[in-house]
Amino acid sequence: MKTKNYRLRSLLFEIFKYTVTILGLLIMIIPMYYMIISALKDNATTFIYPPNLFPRLSLLDFRNFIYILENTIFFRYLWNTLIVAFISVIMSAVFSSLLAYAFARLHIPGKKVIFAVIISIMLVPGLALIVPQFELASMFKLTNKLSGVILFYTAWTIPFSTFLLKGYIEDNISKELDESIYVDGGSPFTVYRHIIIPMASPSIAAVSILNFLFPFEELGWSQAILKSDEIRTLPVAISMFFRAHSQTDWGYVFAMTTMAMIPVVIFYLLLQKYFVTGLSSGSIKG
Amino acid sequence: MFIMSFFDWNIGFQQSSPYIGLENYIDVLTDPIAKRAIVNTFVYAIVTVPLQMIFGLAVALLINGIKKFGIIFRLGYYLPVITSWVVVALLFRYIFANTGLMNYFLVDVLKIVDGPVSWLSSRWSALASAMLLGIWKGIGWNMIIFLAALQAVPRNLYEAADVDGANRFQKFFYITLPSIKGTITFALVMLAIGAFNTYTPIAILTGGNPMHQTEVVLTWMYFQTFDALNMGYSAALSMIVTAIIMIITVFLFGITRRKKVA
């Protein structure tokens, strides 16, 4: 009797769970849906009243997408953005996981102060940093080069990534595992490679997903530094549509934004497997 | 920037920038619009930060327990995060416009209200729209962070709890929450910093209008820097804001650490 009751309750809970998740999902994707629909429509019908949420299929076509591909060097922008994204994601993952490990585990004099300094870098509004950073970039001859964007993005994402990874290591990875490596004659680097990296992989995947997005979003700095057309990243290229014409062609903006989302989605789908329960081996926590 | 805040800073090499001591700070602190911008920012932070975290964690917990079609949910909730702020802010402006989706639903579909509500032209409803945008866009970010954290909660603890006959809420409060404390601190601090640096939603939804009613710190700073060319004023404002965020961060680290002892 008791088990039957329990089974009914968990069935109800399952139904409740799916209903809530699906309702939430709809709210999350309605604006997205509207963007894609608008990208497929004539510009004039984007912001009309009453809104046309379910336009007839005959009204939809790919003219905005074709315009983008024919009239801009879209694939060049995409390539630039991907290069920036991949290099900065990898550099940031390597540096921040090493830093996080050091802050979480190693005995370094004054590490609390150093950590506080790294955190406080994030407190300054990004807007206020553009001018001094531009001076720094021109000193190292990094302006109008992709490397200028890559280095600064890496520098911006390191504090955030270190902060997350440090919390994760402290929370979830048992010190006993470290000690067992030391007993076997391993070095701190062995611990880093064989304990920290595999066990922190969900968290490293999470920061990499978020860091990968950064070059696809960031506008202030990339706009300031990338002046030639052939080295622009996607956000800078999209922003050109805001200014090039007195009346913004929303169809083009939405079409380009939709296309720019594709690589981010693919990267996310590749890395999200680290979030699936059961893949990471359970840790022994004392 | 620190130095700039003590001068009547002028751009251009010909003009001199006289030292004026604390005058910029006094200007900021006696300015009713700056005060309102700071209040608006605080309200924005206090509303959006906890709601984003609660929804994000709830979604992460739900999705973590879903086996079938999990990938669709994981992707769907992340989509708002990857659409650029500018585009989603424009969409929200359209949703809350007088002739937008929200009024269309309320007036023509549900027929709850008689005429269109002008959401974006009064202080609190415009801020509420911006907060809704902030929360909506932030849920996916929190979901990612919490999903990663949930992977590391040792499974044998849940099994032990099952043996002891613990219910879902007990498991959540006694196992899940303590295991992801570091991540919660992280999210709290990051979101608080993010909330104080809100710019795009307000800039696009209202531009700080009507009459600077909906100004937040960063939009006001932007206005002072680029429209009013008050470099010293905005440098002083940004020093004040940085100080506020620093105090909040220290405070947040403080309360989360105390919980660890208890």
B73 touches chain A (CB under 8 A): yes
Q: How far apart are CA A199 and CA A163, in angstroms?
A: 17
Closest CA to B61 of B138, B149, B166: B149
Say if B130 falls within a structural domain. Answer: yes
B190 touches chain A (CB under 8 A): yes
B106 touches chain A (CB under 8 A): no
- B112-156 pLDDT, tens digit per residue, is 666 666 777 777 888 888 888 889 888 989 998 898 888 877 777
What is the residue range of B229's domain? 19-261
Q: How far apart are CA A51 and CA A45, in angstroms?
A: 9
Average pLDDT over residues B226-238: 74
Chain A residues near residue B218 by CB distance under 8 angstroms: 125, 127
Domain count, chain B: 1
Q: Domain containing B73 — which CATH number?
A: 1.10.3720.10
B-interface mutation test, from A46, A53, A117, A124, most B Cβ less than 10 A away: A124
Q: In terms of CA atoms, which chain B residue is nearest residue A10?
A: B168
B-interface mutation test, from A10, A12, A21, most B Cβ less than 10 A away: A21
Q: Is the peptide bond before A50 cis (omega within 30 degrees of 0)?
A: yes
Residue B73 clears pLDDT 80, i.e. is over it: yes
- B210-229 pLDDT, tens digit per residue, is 777 777 777 787 777 777 67
Angle formed at CA A217 by CA B128 and CA B131, multiple of 5 degrees: 5
Q: Which of A13-27, A238-252, B59-73 shows the lowest mean pLDDT across its residues?
A: A238-252
Return the amino acid letter for A247. Answer: Q
Residue B107 clears pLDDT 80, i.e. is over it: no
Mean pLDDT of chain B: 77
Q: How far apart are CA B120 and CA B205, in angstroms?
A: 7
- Unique residue bearing structure tokens 């030639």: A228
Q: What is the pLDDT of residue A125?
A: 67
Cβ neighbours around A129 below 10 Å, total = 17
Say if B45 falls within a structural domain. Answer: yes
B114 touches chain A (CB under 8 A): no
- A222-264 pLDDT, tens digit per residue, is 888 888 888 888 888 888 777 555 566 778 888 888 898 899 9
Highest mean pLDDT among A66-75, A261-270, B161-170: A261-270
Q: How far apart are CA A105 and CA A177, in angstroms?
A: 12
Q: What is the pLDDT of residue A282?
A: 43
**CATH fit for domain A65-282, picks 2.40.180.10, 1.10.3720.10, 1.10.357.10, 3.50.50.60:** 1.10.3720.10
pLDDT band at A17 (very low <50, low <70, confident <90, very high): confident
pLDDT band at A51 (very low <50, low <70, confident <90, very high): low
Say if B14 falls within a structural domain. Answer: no
Q: What is the pLDDT of residue A161?
A: 92
Average pLDDT over residues B177-196: 84
A12 is written with which tokens? 């109800």
Q: Tally DSSP H helices, then E strands, for chain B.
A: 13, 0
Q: Which of A124-138, A164-178, B39-53 shows the lowest mean pLDDT across its residues?
A: A124-138
Q: What is the pLDDT of residue A279?
A: 43
Q: How far apart are CA A42 and CA A254, in angstroms?
A: 12
Select the residue of B63, B91, B152 nearest A35 (Cβ to Cβ). Answer: B91
Residue A266 clears pLDDT 70, i.e. is over it: yes
pLDDT band at B2 (very low <50, low <70, confident <90, very high): low
Residue A182 clears pLDDT 90, i.e. is over it: no
Q: How far apart are CA A120 and CA A131, in angstroms?
A: 19
Cβ neighbours around A184 below 10 Å, total = 8
Say if B13 falls within a structural domain. Answer: no
Say if B4 falls within a structural domain. Answer: no
Say if B100 falls within a structural domain. Answer: yes
Q: How far apart are CA A228 and CA A240, in angstroms?
A: 12
